[in-house]
């Protein structure tokens, strides 16, 4: 801070160096489809097609992975999109969670 004897004190600007080589990425999240004994295969496939605009074959592959392995990654995307899609899929009665992608 510098002060002028006949005037006010003036704060000197602070310069924060910016490192152009570092870029922070927005973390992605997995939308996880869990197998359950309630939802039938047709409903799960239809929900994936309508929510993510997947082709039927891709939606069926994801559904069968969840059916056979207990859980499948339906999509990896930003947290905001993952939360929205989780709510949309839960409206079909599906068991959905999101988790950080590493």
pLDDT at residue 43 in the model: 97
* 43 domain-assigned: yes
* 12 domain-assigned: no
Classify 33 in phi/psi space as left (phi over 0), alpha (psi -120 to 50) or beta. Answer: beta
What digits encode the pLDDT tens for the residues 3-46? Answer: 566 655 555 665 656 665 666 678 999 999 999 999 999 999 99
* 81 domain-assigned: yes
pLDDT at residue 26 in the model: 83
Q: Domain holding 39: CATH number?
A: 3.30.1390.10
* 19 domain-assigned: no
CA-closest candidate to residue 75, choices 64, 95, 91, 59: 59
Instruction: Please tell me the pTM assigned to this model.
Output: 0.76
The structural domain count of the chain equals: 1
Helix (H, G, I), strand (E, B) or coil at 64: helix
Q: Are 41 and 67 in contact (CB under 8 A)?
A: yes
Domain span at residue 95 reads: 27-100
* 69 domain-assigned: yes
* 31 domain-assigned: yes
d(CA 92, CA 102) in angstroms, rounded, equals 28
């Amino acid at each position: 801070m510098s002060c002028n004897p006949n005037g006010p004190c003036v704060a000197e600007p602070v310069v924060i160096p910016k490192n152009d080589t570092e870029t922070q990425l927005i973390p992605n999240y997995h939308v996880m489809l869990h197998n359950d004994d309630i939802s039938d295969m047709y409903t799960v496939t239809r929900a994936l097609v309508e929510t993510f605009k997947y082709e039927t074959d891709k939606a069926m592959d994801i559904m069968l992975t969840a059916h056979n392995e207990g859980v499948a990654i339906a999509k990896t995307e930003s947290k905001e999109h993952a939360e929205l899609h989780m709510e949309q899929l839960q409206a079909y009665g599906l068991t959905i969670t999101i988790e950080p992608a590493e």
